[in-house]
Amino acid sequence: MNKITCICLGVRSMERAIKFYRDGLGYKTDCKEDNPYVCFFDTPGTKFELYPLDMLAEDINKDNPPQIGNGFGGITLAYNVASREEVDNTIELVRKAGGIIVKEPQNVFWGGYHAYFKDLDGYYWEVAWGPDFKFDENGLLQF
């Protein structure tokens, strides 16, 4: 397996999360209802999935589901963009949609520009641009 095909987030409220991602941030999806069983979003190079948190925990281990934490489990989700302006614009969309800005957009020691936010369920996201970032025809970051 050499590429991620789906990122799954267990969310406490499907309705609240769908409104955040679909209506607030404008992520593309075919989900029309506000509280479906599962909802997939199209993002460059992968699928982004929302799934009820308790069901996700049961899916991992039905007999002993992992304990629910505050959303930070030692990883962040990264959203890489093609310009510094896209970092700023994305953070403004997050702010308007009710996300928590953890780190305002700023220059990074490696020459890029980035910011961090927490979504409505406490998951940490980095929005990043780098001067050497190149994307393929599908919007997937190339190294």
Q: Where are the domains of the chain?
A: 6-142
User: Model-level pTM?
Assistant: 0.73
Span 46-77, pLDDT tens digits: 777 788 877 766 766 678 777 656 555 556 78
Report d(CA 140, CA 134) in Å as an integer.
8
Amino acid at 42: D
The per-residue pLDDT for 74 is 54
Strands 134-135 and 141-142, bridge-based pairing: antiparallel
Question: What's CA 70's distance to the chain center, in Å?
Answer: 16
Contact yes or no for 18/30 (Cβ under 8 A): no
The per-residue pLDDT for 67 is 66
Report d(CA 54, CA 74) in Å as an integer.
20
The per-residue pLDDT for 75 is 64
The per-residue pLDDT for 3 is 46
> Could you tell me which CATH number the domain at 6-142 has?
3.10.180.10
Residues of the chain falling short of pLDDT 70: 1-6, 56-57, 59-61, 67-75, 143
